[in-house]
Amino acid sequence: MLRPVLPLLLCLLAWPAQAQLAGLPGGGLPTTLPQVRDTVQRLPRTVRDTIQAVPVRTPTVEQLLRRHPARVELDPAGAPVVRSEVVAIDPAAAALELARDAGFDVGRTRSLEPLGLRLVVLRAPDGLGTAAALEQLRRLDPAGTYDFNHLYFGSGAVGTGTGAAAGTDVAATGGGVRVGLVDSGVDAGHPAMAGVDVRHWGCDGRVVPDGHGTAVASLLVGGEDGGDGGTLFAADIYCGQPAGGAADGFAEAMAWLAQQDVGVINISLVGPHNALVQRATAALAARGHVLVAAVGNDGPASPPLFPAAYPGVIGVTAVDPRGRALPEAVRGAQVDFAARGSQVRAARSGGGWTTVRGTSFAAPLVARAAAHGLGRRDEAVARKVRERLAVTARDLGEDGRDDTYGFGLVEARPAVAAGGSR
């Protein structure tokens, strides 16, 4: 039984989503990723749990670099950025003139009044690398704030299964919540979202549904029997574009959510430290918005990922049905709470249901719990949300707060995949 598992496991670790398997040892192995997943689900539970527990690095970055080299590159630390773009925060007019004189194109300019920021995206002259462009701007304007236009990605895996759930309750709500989401596009026509007032932002008014955003939204405000009548302010910062999810789009989305006066905002995205993302999150936290973010799935040895690691943000990790931290979940001082993030059933864009795994899908359960009683921004209430969640959380791991589970498990109960347990 174990002989074919090793090549299958190697395939799972190395294989980009939606690609074809070819030239593998051990005849009879599946030839497409859906077949691999189906084969894994038919393995004995002990073997299946071992395979599913192995951290798998998302191929998204590698795919972007390979398919869109003109739009995406890596910064010196290895984080993906929009090629040739530098973001400037509140640049002085004189600094922009110096940049123009040096050959930079002064591109998108946005006044993000709710954040108290003015954003300018500068494009490097031809032949000048992005890192070199950033350094040059910092030399020209030492007092200014400049950074890469970093890209941020979802922190969880969306499966393809459609099996029946073992349970259907997300969490008793007693009325609809009013909550914000920064993610990819949401399929508001999915039955899970019935009864939910979904207000879209981004993509020049188009709606571009995506698997990650739809799954997160269904856990945030939806349910198998439809939503609870709440309102979801869904900001799509990807729009199906190869360089979607950039720092400038994140800041604009946060400004829109601030305008809507949304009390709680879920962010199931992770990436590196970025000056613009930091300023945007700090501005909303200072205004009394509660920000809930996934800590990421890069493993226990990973450095902190952002925005979850910024002060004022509630960082959420994921646990399995037995309350054990997922092996791939990031640890650290930024972990505030844990929620179920394994064998979770969520809406699939285009219809049907799927099984999801990762801190991306734990965060909306905590955000949903936080949103009760905080539909609109309220500084006094917001200050007590973390305390309220900590009092009601079930302690896991070491006594008291720890870097694996934070203050403990928030007992929101998502629907679980077939064969799962509560």
Alpha-carbon gap, residue 399 to 214, rounded angstroms: 36
Contact 368, 231 (CB under 8 A): no
- Contact, 55 vs 49, CB < 8 A? no
Amino acid at 386: R
d(CA 309, CA 246): 18
Q: Which of 141, 147, 183, 248 is catalytic?
A: 183
Query: What is the Cα–Cα distance from 81 to 86, expressed in whole angstroms?
Result: 9
From 212, 218, 268, 320, active-site residue: 212
**CB-CB neighbours of 398 under 10 Å:** 10
Q: Can 212 be counted among the known catalytic residues?
A: yes
Cα–Cα distance, 40 to 369 (Å, whole number)? 33
The tokens for 290 are 């509660």
360 assigned to active site: yes
> Per-residue DSSP letters for 283-308?
HHHHTT-EEEEE--SS-TTPPP-BTT
Q: Is the dihedral of CA 191, 192, 198, 204 positive or negative?
A: negative
Residues 6+ apart with CB under 8 A from 143: none
Query: Which ranges of 3-162 would DSSP assign to H, the alpha helix?
Result: 5-14, 33-41, 45-53, 60-67, 93-101, 130-140
Phi, psi of 87 (to 5 degrees): -95, 135
235: helix, strand or coil:
strand
Positions marked active-site: 183, 212, 360
